[in-house]
Amino acid sequence: MATREGYDTDVGNGGETHQHVPVESSHKPEDHLTTNQGIRVSDNQNQLKAGDRGPVLLEDFVLREKIFHFDHERIPERIVHARGSAAHGYFELFESLADITKADIFQRAGEKTPLFTRFSTVAGGAGSVDTPRDVRGFAVKFYTKEGNWDLVGNNIPVFFIQDAIKFPDLIHSVKMEADRGFPQAASAHDTFWDFVGLMPETTHMIMWAMSDRTIPRSLRMIEGFGIHTFRFVNAAGASTFVKFHWKPKLGLQSTIWDEAVKLAGADPDFHRRDLFEAIQRGDFPEWELGIQTFDEAFADSLPYDVLDSTKIIPEELLPVRIVGRMVLDRWPDNFFAETEQVAYCPANVPPGIDFTNDPLLQGRLFSYLDTQKSRLGTANFHQIPINAPKCPVMNFQRDGQMQMLQPKGRANYEPNSLGEHGEIGGVRECPATGFATYPATESGDKLRIRASSFADHYSQARLFFRSLDSAEQSHLASAIVFELSKVSIEAIRTRVLSNIVNVDPSLAARVAAGLAMDLPKASEPAAPVQDLDLSPALRIIRGPLEKETLEGRSVGILIADGSDVSVVDTLVKAVTKAGARPVVIAPKVGGVKMSDGSLRKADGQLAGTPSVTVDAVALALSSEGCAALLKEAAAIQFVMDAFGHLKAIGASEAAKPLLDKAGVVADAGVTGLDEAFVRAATRRYWDREPKVRTLA
């Protein structure tokens, strides 16, 4: 029969088991999922907990084996979040939170705490590109006076799964398919959508993943979330639930899907380069830290469970309180030593911050430490400078591979009394100031079970979709059409559509039409689907964090022989004054001959600096220069893409033939090269979109 790892087994006279060549699994009813020790697994969906909403138990050998094996599958690259960029900076507290937490970092307004923040994609390897449709990791290591605090989250406030035991399955499904080694950094394939269709709890996250949130314009223009519900604990021992939010100073901005695809080819390092160059020129990226705090009574009043990582608490229901800011002001000195070797772990928290029984968080608390040991090759990875706390570290954990410290004395145990006898003694625990777990009362049977309060998988997915701007809804529907068009097994597409019917029938109909499929019946939901109050805060387009500004953006200024010197100089000054970066682009990077005979060097070559790399374009061309560019495919594509990606286009009168050849039609985003262009360049023109592409 088919067994674990696809091997046939024969049992000989002596009871020996002989492994033969791998065979295809038969999936017969009598086949059973087992551990690596051959023990049959009764439940592969839930961790072992004390009660249906209780903590996870360490004795769960099925979880530990599964996560342990998963954590050690890649050496030395991160299994997930392998492609990342990071920077040093600081956190500045705006107001004391001493009333709700004793964490030292939140005590004194105006105090700054050093930190190191890493952004990453999830699905691709270290050598993949920056701009695929993917979740972005958002991990912050605060070097507090009480030890390191790692707030390890994403740019999306929910996750695909509710229980950490499913994390290896999720990642295996979205990674490259096991038999063919592709696709890389892409979710548009059979195995991922097969998992999604079979796991309705993924539905809310799928709405986010297919939205514009996963194709950001810049890492400087994404939100960050702690995802889980944590606890604040104050000096009196009182607990307050808390959710963490990072709000970008530059606002939210995403790309168009076609733009993201072309960026991957034009500049695979687009986000990394953007972050690096912003810091180098002193435009330091900044986010505000916000918190949602609430008590048990508020949590119990909600129609969903705050321990469920597939759920949010809408900001309209519980406003986000801004309490501080993060500024990233220094690029790493060495990419490998810092960005690659940094080790985050959500279990790293100082006194005053504590955990809840969120079953996804509980599994993460185990998994990360184990992963770091595998990836960095030593139990002493905390001694690597980027990981080392900036406060004293005193304990008896000696030796181990790559031990870089030289402890003195013979006492390597606790308690010891050698210090009382003239030798080097040691430190003891301190109940008054040490970390103390909040004494929550727990009770219940030891069971593999999912709480009934986790059963509603569609109401918040519906809330998210219906809260979006109409343009974002079209993008989301089109993204699902694209993804499912890459799924070769029709039954998988049908199953996914059946789930989407529960989210919004009109969305399901749009996707079905885009695939030329019949709309199936809705799948049977595990809990009634509710119509929750909409949350405009979830929007990017025309949402609270969309900013009409040029600050932090870039403007491409296309020049050629004969371009007017004064016009180009005026444009450069106006763009710079507006807080943007002017990028002068020419057919040859060495420059062009300007109207006064001078040579103007370019920041980028036309063929290598397409309009997808900037936020707006200005065509400062003479008749002579325009005539030459009419024969240049790169110039025509430069203008065509800018228009198709809904960007502002400013053009001299002489550039009109190039506009015409590129198919540009006059609208509010097409201007001359005067002040109107700088104003127009502060946004995209969503009303143009139906004229340039067909969306679902």
**Residue 334 among the catalytic residues:** no
Indicate which CATH number applies to the domain containing 225.
2.40.180.10
What pLDDT shows up at residue 650? 98
Q: Are residues 26 and 66 in the same domain?
A: no
Assess if residue 464 is contained within a domain: no
Task: Give the CATH number, domain containing residue 587.
Answer: 3.40.50.880
392: in domain: no
pLDDT reported for residue 30: 60
Distance CA 636, CA 370 (A): 53
Q: Give catalytic status of residue 154 as yes or no.
A: yes
620, 557 Cβ separation under 8 angstroms: yes
Q: Are residues 79 and 220 in the same domain?
A: yes
CB 655 within 8 A of CB 663: no
Report how far residue 5's alpha carbon sits from residue 37's, in angstroms, rounded to the nearest whole number. 12
**Residue 165 · residue 62 · CB < 8 Å:** yes
Pairing mode, if any, of strands 239-248 and 230-233? antiparallel
pLDDT tens-digit series, residues 573-595: 999 999 999 999 999 999 999 99
- Domain assignment present for residue 360? The answer is yes
Whether residues 135 and 82 fall in one domain: yes
C-beta separation of 145 from 209 below 8 A: no
- What's the structural domain count of the chain? 3
Residues 26 and 70 in one domain: no
104 and 111 Cβ atoms separated by less than 8 Å: no
Note whether residue 202 is domain-resident: no
96-101, long-range: CB within 8 Å, 24+ apart, which pairs? 97/232, 97/323, 98/234, 98/235, 99/234, 100/232, 100/234, 100/238, 100/240, 100/242, 100/293, 101/232, 101/233, 101/234, 101/240, 101/352, 101/353
Q: State how far the Cα of 206 lies from the Cα of 299, in Å rounded to an integer.
A: 25
Whether 9 has a pLDDT exceeding 80, the answer reads: no
Name the band, by pLDDT with cuts 50, 70 and 90, for residue 13.
very low
Asked if 341 and 255 sit in the same domain, the reply is yes
- Same domain, yes or no: 222 and 289: yes
pLDDT of the residue at 91: 98
Question: Quick check: is 422 in a domain?
Answer: no
Neighbours of 447 (CB within 10 A): 14
Neighbouring C-beta atoms of residue 397, cutoff 10 Å: 13
In the listed set 383, 418, 452, which residue is the last one of a domain according to the structure? 383
Determine which helix (DSSP H) or strand (DSSP E) holds 323, and give its type and residue range.
Answer: strand 321-330
- Whether 120 is covered by a domain: the verdict is yes
Domain residue limits at 679: 554-692
Average pLDDT, the chain: 92
Does any domain span residue 540?
A: no
Q: Which one of 348, 383, 418 terminates a domain?
A: 383
Rounded Cα–Cα distance for residues 348 and 148 (Å) = 6
Residue 490, H or E segment: helix 490-503
23 with 65, same domain: the answer is no
Check residue 466 and give its pLDDT: 98
Assigned domain for 598 exists: yes
- Catalytic residue (one of 46, 148, 154, 380): 154
Confidence band, pLDDT 50/70/90 cuts, at residue 205: very high
Query: pLDDT tens, 283-297?
Result: 999 999 999 999 999
Q: Are residues 8 and 121 in the same domain?
A: no
Residues contacting residue 625 through CB under 8 Å, at least 6 positions apart: 559, 560, 561, 562, 563, 592, 654
Chain centroid to CA 465: 19
Residues 129 and 250 in one domain: yes
pLDDT of residue 3: 35
pLDDT tens digit string along 14-53? 333 333 333 344 455 567 777 777 778 888 889 989 999 9
Straight-line distance from the first to the last Cα atom of the chain, in angstroms, rounded to the nearest whole number: 47
Handedness of CA 202, 136, 367, 453 (dihedral sign): negative
| Strand-pair category, 604-605 with 581-586 | parallel
100-131 tens-digit pLDDT: 999 999 999 999 999 999 999 999 999 999 99
Question: Among residues 383, 398, 416, which one ends one of the domains?
Answer: 383
Q: Are residues 129 and 21 in the same domain?
A: no
> Where does residue 666 rank: exposed (0-12), middle (13-18), buried (19+ CB within 10 A)?
exposed
Q: Do 565 and 673 share a domain, yes or no?
A: yes
Q: % helix / strand / coil in the chain, to the nearest 5?
A: 35, 20, 50
Name which of 90, 279, 257 is nearest 188 in CA terms.
Answer: 257
Catalytic residue, from 46, 81, 416, 645: name it: 81
107 & 247 share domain: yes
